[in-house]
């Protein structure tokens, strides 16, 4: 993620915890793919934050300087705007879960295609 040079002599720290990772879906490939998707979300979020820094700095100075971007920290207003954008993007990506809730519980929960097919194919004379 960060391409900055590492300071001093470094020993690699482990990234994986000890203990068996649970399987969440019937197909383990789904587990792996979901992991990758969320990590991709993070990468995209990081890139977008960085771009945001660049844009704000450009607007402010009209000059692009790499070290300035590195040192830039959002003020309260910018941080709040970022939080809002991140939350919105996260909500978009996980909207599929809202869909499941709505389909199961919502007031306009759609019926199955079989139900609809039966409804539309029914003889109108038999309905009131």
Partner 1 sequence: MPAPAPHAMLPEVAHDEMAAQDFVATLRAHLASRVAPGVARIYEHRALPRFRAEHQRDPADRHEVRRLMSTDGYYQFWSALQRRSQEMMWESVIEPVERRHGELVERARRLAGETGCGSLRLDETLEIPRYHTAVDIHLQPGGYHSDFRADDVAAGAIYDTALPIYLGGALGARNDALGQILVGYLRARWPDIRPRRILDMGCAIGNCTLPWAEAFPDAEVHGIDVGAPVLRYAHARASALGMPVHFSQQNAEATDFADGSFDLVVSHIMLHETSAKALPRILAESHRLLAPGGLMLHLEIPRGDTPFEQFMFDWETYNNNETFAGYMTGLDLPALACRAGFQTEYCRIERGGMDMETGQKNYGDHEFTFPILVGEKPQAVSASARA
Tell me which stretch binds partner 1 (CB under 8 A): 36-44, 56-64, 110-118, 119-127: 36-44
Identity of the residue, 64 or 97, whose beta carbon is nearer to partner 1 in the bound complex: 97
Identity of the residue, 59 or 105, whose beta carbon is nearer to partner 1 in the bound complex: 105
Site string for partner 1, 40-79 (x = CB under 8 A): -xx--xx--xx--x---------------xxxxx------
68 within 8 A of 57, measured Cβ to Cβ: yes
**Farthest CA pair distance, the chain:** 85
Under rule CB under 8 A, residue 39 binds partner 1: yes
**What does the binding site for partner 1 look like in residue numbers (CB under 8 A)?**
1-2, 4, 6-19, 21-22, 24-25, 31, 34-35, 38-39, 41-42, 45-46, 49-50, 53, 69-73, 82-83, 86-87, 90-91, 94, 97-98, 100-101, 104-105
């Amino acid at each position: 993620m960060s391409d900055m040079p590492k300071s001093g002599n470094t020993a690699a720290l482990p990234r994986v915890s000890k203990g068996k990772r649970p399987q969440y879906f019937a197909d383990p490939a789904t587990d792996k793919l979901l992991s990758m998707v969320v990590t991709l979300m993070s990468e995209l979020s990081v890139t977008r934050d960085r771009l945001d820094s660049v844009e704000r700095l450009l607007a402010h100075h009209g000059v692009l300087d790499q070290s300035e971007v590195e040192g830039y920290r959002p003020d309260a207003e910018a941080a709040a705007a970022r939080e809002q954008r991140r939350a919105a993007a996260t909500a978009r990506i996980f909207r599929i879960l809202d869909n499941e809730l709505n389909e199961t519980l919502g007031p306009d929960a759609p019926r199955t295609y079989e139900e609809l097919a039966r409804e539309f194919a029914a003889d109108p004379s038999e309905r009131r």
